[in-house]
Amino acid sequence: MAKKSRYLHGQKIEPPAIDGNISIVDLVDKTFNAYNAARFREACQLFVERMLADDVTVGMSLSGAMTPAGLGMAAIIPLMRAGFIDWMVSTGANLYHDTHFGIGLEMRRGLANLDDRVLRDEGVVRIFDIFFQYDVLLKTDTFFRDMITASEFQRPMSTAEFHYLAGKYVLERSRVLGLKDKSLLGAAHELGVPIYTSSPGDSSIGMNVAAKALGGNKLQFDCNADVNETAAIVYGAKKSRQKSAILIVGGGSPKNFVLQTEPQIQEVLGLNEKGHDYYLQFTDARVDTGGLSGATPAEAVTWGKVDPDKLPGTVVCYVDSTIALPLLTAYALAKRRHREPKGLYHRREQLVAAMTKAAKAKGNL
């Protein structure tokens, strides 16, 4: 009898019949057996079993219109409160639309096949099948313009510092209105989770900051601080004998910004490092058209973004993030105990100082 191939030792495909009582964990672990369902199962298991270990610092990148769809309050805030997200890079648009909810404004389900000329005439703005009144934009613009007239904003600062301060103002408005956990900016402020924006001028928040600058407002975003602080977070984790994990929702600039922390450490500052330990991405982009920004896990190894020894600890799942993120959140909260929040926002200066000292010792500064 021929010897059984070593490639035939995987779990037998024999899932239970799905009924109304099946848990999210059993649904994923037992019935997601092949194709992108299998990749999603691998993603969930990687996240819970390895990325959420106590000695791992988890960074998240967020692109696409996720907060208008309600995923800030439904998924990201619960992940933050569970200690599962330690730092974040987001598009400014996600944070701008997140603010709508925190200051009591509404977004509603709509339809994607209506006449946009009619919607325009009725003052309705559309994000695919999300509808909201045009004055939601105007009221949010006013909120940010009024906020940044405060004296604490009259200086250059990292986007993490800006979002931390903004979160305080959003929380104050939420409390007055009796709202709870509607804004991830507010939750990040409470938990000390630093949130960066890699392209701060590319959003309505940046547009309002630029407009106020015309009238003499002194607020400016310090992009150098953003680059150094994010790199220092990763370097600090690795030098304290911990691991670094990246959860990538979508792609674009936020994706590159969380990943470029390692080339900043190795290539630019000349410090001894090998790359992120864990890499999990949800995307619907294709590598052959350049839509993955030249950074599949294997390709990222060549840039020093991913530790080559940890390549098995990477998963790219080709699935709509609006499907994947709620399911991942439910799976993780069902299977993993909460972690103590790291409060990395409050350690930024200490971490940058330690990285600076190391680079100077190497003669690279």
CA distances from residue 41 to 44, 59, 138, 207 in whole angstroms, order as listed = 5, 20, 42, 40
> Is 360 annotated as catalytic?
no
With DSSP H G I counted as helix, E B as strand and the rest as coil, what are the percentages for the chain, rounded to 5? 55, 15, 35
User: Tokens 């991830």 — which residue?
Assistant: 184
Give every strand in the sheet of 124-127, ordered side by side.
108-109, 130-133, 124-127
Give every strand in the sheet of 278-283, ordered side by side.
195-196, 87-90, 56-62, 243-249, 278-283, 314-318
What are the backbone dihedrals phi and psi of residue 242, each rounded to the nearest 5 degrees, phi first?
Answer: -105, -175
DSSP annotation of 80 reads H
Pinpoint the alpha helices (H) of the chain: 24-31, 35-46, 71, 77-81, 92-102, 116-121, 134-147, 159-177, 184-191, 204-214, 223-239, 252-259, 261-263, 297-303, 321-335, 348-361
Closest CA to 182 of 193, 171, 169: 171
315 vs 46: CA distance, rounded Å:
8
Active-site entry in 182, 305, 335, 342: 305
User: Tokens 């409160």 — which residue?
Assistant: 81
Within 13 Å and on the Cβ side, how many CA atoms surround 27?
13
Closest CA to 69 of 93, 104, 33: 93
Closest CA to 293 of 250, 261, 326, 336: 250
Q: Residue length, the chain?
A: 365
First to last CA, the chain: 66
Q: Parallel, antiparallel, or unpaired: how do β-strands 220-221 and 195-196 relate?
A: unpaired
Q: Residues with catalytic annotation?
A: 305
